[in-house]
Amino acid sequence: MASEPLEIERLDRGVLSFRGPLTMENVSPFMNAVRREDAPTMILDLTNVPYLDSSGLGSLVSACTSCTKSGRRMALTGVNKRVRKVFEITKVEQIFLMFPTLSDALEAFTNAGTA
């Protein structure tokens, strides 16, 4: 069975939007897109990510760790219930800064002077 592709769209500097599952088959393009971003804040819009597997979860944790180590901030937006449940079960939800929508994240970073 062929895996569903992960579509990646760069909406703005530091803002990436994803469409499709974040799974083992899609981790490489995900990480490549994340590595190319050099903005002081990175926002990953997961509104159209229906699910992820352990590889996808690991790539999100890795991206967050990488941002933190380089003095940057990362936020997730549009995390659905299914993905949030994975975060809760694996106890990683506290490491992610999450906002309901992309506009909420942009507003928060703009008000904090880090956008």
Q: Is 1 part of any domain?
A: no
**CATH code at 48?**
3.30.750.24
Domains in the chain: how many in total? 1
Q: Is 2 part of any domain?
A: no
Q: Is 46 part of any domain?
A: yes
Q: Is 5 part of any domain?
A: no
E strand intervals along the chain: 7-12, 15-19, 41-48, 73-77, 97-99
Q: Is 61 part of any domain?
A: yes
Q: Is 62 part of any domain?
A: yes
* pTM, entire model: 0.93
pLDDT band at 115 (very low <50, low <70, confident <90, very high): low
Question: Residue 92 sits in which domain range?
Answer: 10-112
In this predicted model, what pLDDT tens digit does every residue of 24-61 receive, in sequence order? 999 999 999 999 999 999 999 999 999 999 999 999 99
Q: Is 67 part of any domain?
A: yes
